[in-house]
Structures are given as structure tokens and as C-alpha cells.
Amino acid sequence: MKRRDFLKSGIALAAITTLNPWTSLFGKEKKLNDELRRSDFGADFLWGVATAAYQIEGAYQEDGKGLSIWDTFSNTKGKIKTGENGNIATDFYHLYEQDIALLKQMNIPNFRFSIAWSRVLPKGVGEVNKKGLEFYHKVIDACLERGIEPWITLYHWDLPQALEDKGGWINREVIQWFKEYVTLCIREFKGKVKNWMIMNEPTAFTALGYMLGIHAPGKKGIDKFLKASHHTALALAEGGRTIRELFPQANIGSTFSCSYIEPLKPKNKHQKAAARIEAVMNKFFLEAVLGRGYPIQDFPALKRIKKFMLPGDEDKLKFDLDFVGLQNYTREVVKYSLFRPVIWANQVKPQKRGVETTEMGWEVYPESVYQMLKIYASYPEIPKIIITESGASFPDKLEDSKIHDEKRKKYLQDVLKQVLRAKKEGVPVQGYFIWTFTDNFEWAEGFRPRFGLVYVDFQSQKRYIKDSGKWFAEFLSK
């Protein structure tokens, strides 16, 4: 997850086991914000929560699972700010029944989760781990038994370490490796799961993992980033074609991180700087899959990617998605900078602008989602938009088995008002998934940032519904 500082480089409730009755659990939370009603969004609008395998599952060496790049990275000294790892995470591998029962209790009708590639294919290709497949069958069945629709993300950053040892996303063979993995998943689960997301935020995992080195696998360099990015873009499209071939009825999308980009001042040099940042952060993968190619016209330095392209690659980048997953958390204000070669731009940090921030240091700016929805709607190639991640991390304090997270609740309400604003203006936005369901392992940040609607005591693994979760549950009940 989420708004990462790409600009650094210049490229850039008591415990659930109690399960109190509804009236006792939610009590006075039944008073809803009169200005915001579920019915305003329409009967077909999708509501859900999003998670990722590495951030919740744990059981990193159980039942035949192979290591992923995040297993290796988080267990390497100095890589995670808090010195923690995701070996146990929220122990979803063992507590999935409890968590899915909680989803039902909270009226959440759609659950987005990912498959850990190395749990089903320990070496990335070849021998299949049947116990891994059995686990995901159990998760899917637990959802369906409770009337919860599963939405599966095929790749959420956890490349098998065995494939990284062969070059990972820098090795062009990864396109075929990914196709083999996608083929296995679709053939195994297509009888139960209709909704598929090919990849999660390709800009993030390529830039952070193969250029800045602050996420797994920890590599650095512009050429590493561009080569990994091109192979990722090709694999994304090939993954989509594979799903379409094996399961024509599937609802296929992919998710893209984005921030609303604004120049510091309406001066030409700042506007051009903002356009370059926009090209990398928002347009790069999106426009490639839409068939527009890479946004070299907005950022000429990106033309270096052409040396990694083979004849015919440009056509192979395109795939007709059924929906685009928009993932937005904040905006970025940028200015021209002589001290950031290549991109000649820099972020004006929210702290220097004196604005409110989340615990991640991101500006609290709900209107960002409205602005990005309008921008996505300007692409005629996008048939529909689903907000597949949206949320905020604020400090949470457990007091008498309660968490009064008023800032998160207000943030979600304010964001939803912006979504409704865009919808009323004709933007084809058809769903909203909150990041995230439970607090989890937040990548290189460790366990400190909490984004969940549900608080997790990571020592006892007990769950407590936060006030924001109670509000959302009541909102969904109307």
C-alpha cells in the first residue's frame, strides 16, 4: 500500500470470538450522517474492503509455501523501519473463518484479497502446492457461504523468491512465468470467482522495488526500473488475455495507484514539472494498457524504455479491461527543482505547506479522489471505474475494548461525498473498497501504521471493531 514518495529518487468488539449481537455491538452508532446514505449511490453500487496476502496471511513457511521476495526482504536486517516482518502478520491463514464471519457481521458484501503466488507455486512455476490451492478454496467457500462476493487480485507484490533469483521482473521470461501462474489460478477457481484483478499498483512495486530499493526486492537504478516496468506492463496485458481466453465470462480489471498532481504555482516551469510527475505516477501503466503507449511526450526521458522493447511489443501492451481500479490516498504538490536531475521536479511536502496529514505523512485531501475520478473519466477507453483502495492511517488507541477513530470516520465520509459528487456528474464510478479491513503489516513501515476498520492486537491476535468500522457497517445496513 500506499502513497509512496516516488520523488525521492527523482523518478519517481471485544475480540471477534465474542461476536456480540448487532444491537449490543453497534449501540449508538446507529445514528447515521444524514448527508450520506448508501441509497444515494444506487442499488448496484459495489461496497467492499481490500486486503493483500502478504500483509495478512502469515504462515510464511507452512503447508508447502515457498518464500516470496517479501519474506526475504522483511527478514533482512534494516529493511523494515520497525524491524518487524510479516511471518505471522494477522494470522489470516489460521483465522480466516473468524475474519470472514466478521465481514458478514459488518454487512460488507464484497471482499478483495490476493493469492500468494508462492503459496500455490512454491518455485513460481512447475510443481503445484495442493495445500495452497485448498486454502484459497476454503477462503472462497467461506465467503460464498455467507453471501460475500470474492474479488481476487492475482499479483499483489509478492513475487516468488525463486523467480527473483532468476532476475524477477527484470527477466523477460517473467511474462511466461506470470502466464503460467494466472492459468493455474483461473482454471482452479473460475467456477467460484467471477471478479479478477490482474495486478496491484504496478507503478508502486516497480519504482519502489527496482529503482528506489526501499521495497522488495530492494534493487536500484533507472534502467532496472524501466526494464522491470516494461516486462510488468507486458505481463499485465498477457495476464488479461489469458483470463479472457480461459474464462470469457470473467469481470477483469487491474488496479492503478494515483495522486492528484498540482503545480505549486501557475508558472510554466512548475506546470511542466507537474506534467512529468503525472506521467510517471499516474499515466505510465494506465496509458500503456489502454493502448496509448508510454507517455513519453509528457516526460521525454522515458524514451529510454525503448531499448528494452522488442518488435511488436507496443501492440502487446494493450488489453481491454472491463474495469479500472482507481487507488487514491492524497494529492501531491510539486515544483520545478534543479536538484532532481532527469525529472527536474520535487515534492513540496505537506508538512511544509502546513496542512493536515495522516500518520503516513500524506496530506488529508478528500477532493483528490474526485479530481482523479474526473481525470479517469476523460479516457474514453475506460468503460467503468471502481475505487479499489481508499483509506487513511491515523494513530489508534485501544481503550476499554474500543477505538474512537473519529478522524478516520470523518475522512471516509468526506471521501465518499467526493465520490458521490463525481457520480452525480456522470463519472462511471461503480464501487468503493476501503483499505483496509483489519490493521495489517504495512510493508516497509511495519505494523505501526493502522489503516483498518478493525483493530488488531498483534500480540494476542484479537480483533476489535473501530468506530469507523461500526459506522461503515451501519451505513451498509441502510
Confidence of residue 3 (pLDDT cuts 50, 70, 90): very low
pLDDT tens string 154-191: 999 999 999 999 999 999 999 999 999 999 999 999 99
389 catalytic? Reply is: yes
Provide the b/e sequence for 247-271 (b: ≥16 CB within 10 Å): beebbbbbbbbbbbbbbbeeeeebe
pLDDT tens string 373-425: 999 999 999 999 999 999 999 999 999 999 999 999 999 999 999 999 999 99
Q: How far is CA 380 from CA 177, 291, 414, 478, in A?
A: 32, 11, 28, 34
What CA–CA distance (Å, rounded) separates 202 from 404? 34
29 catalytic? Reply is: no
In this predicted structure, the answer to whether residue 28 has a pLDDT above a threshold of 70 is: no
pTM: 0.93
In this predicted structure, the answer to whether residue 83 has a pLDDT above a threshold of 80 is: yes
pLDDT average, residue stretch 99-120? 98
Q: Which residue among the candidates 201, 278, 287, 363 is catalytic per the annotation? A: 201
pLDDT at 15: 33
In this predicted structure, the answer to whether residue 1 has a pLDDT above a threshold of 80 is: no
pLDDT at 35: 77
State the distance between the two ends of the chain, measured CA to CA, in whole angstroms. Answer: 30
pLDDT tens string 309-347: 999 999 999 999 999 999 999 999 999 999 888 999 999
Indicate the residue type of 321. Answer: L
pLDDT at 424: 98
Non-local CB neighbours of 281 within 8 Å, separated by 6+ positions:
6, 12, 203, 257, 258, 259, 261, 332
Confidence of residue 242 (pLDDT cuts 50, 70, 90): very high
pLDDT at 478: 84
pLDDT tens string 122-135: 999 999 999 999 99
In this predicted structure, the answer to whether residue 11 has a pLDDT above a threshold of 80 is: no
Non-local CB neighbours of 39 within 8 Å, separated by 6+ positions:
478
pLDDT at 33: 45
pLDDT average, residue stretch 258-262? 98
At 158, is the secondary structure helix, strand, or coil?
A: coil
What CA–CA distance (Å, rounded) separates 453 from 437? 5
In this predicted structure, the answer to whether residue 23 has a pLDDT above a threshold of 90 is: no
Domain boundaries, the chain: 6-477
pLDDT average, residue stretch 231-249? 98
Q: Which residue among the candidates 57, 332, 389, 442 is catalytic per the annotation? A: 389
* Nearest one of 473, 467, 471 to 401, comparing CA atoms: 467
Grid cell, residue 115, equals 493469492
The chain-wide mean pLDDT, for the chain, equals 94
Grid cell, residue 198, equals 490482474
pLDDT tens string 59-72: 999 999 999 999 99
* Domain 6-477: CATH class, spelled out: alpha beta
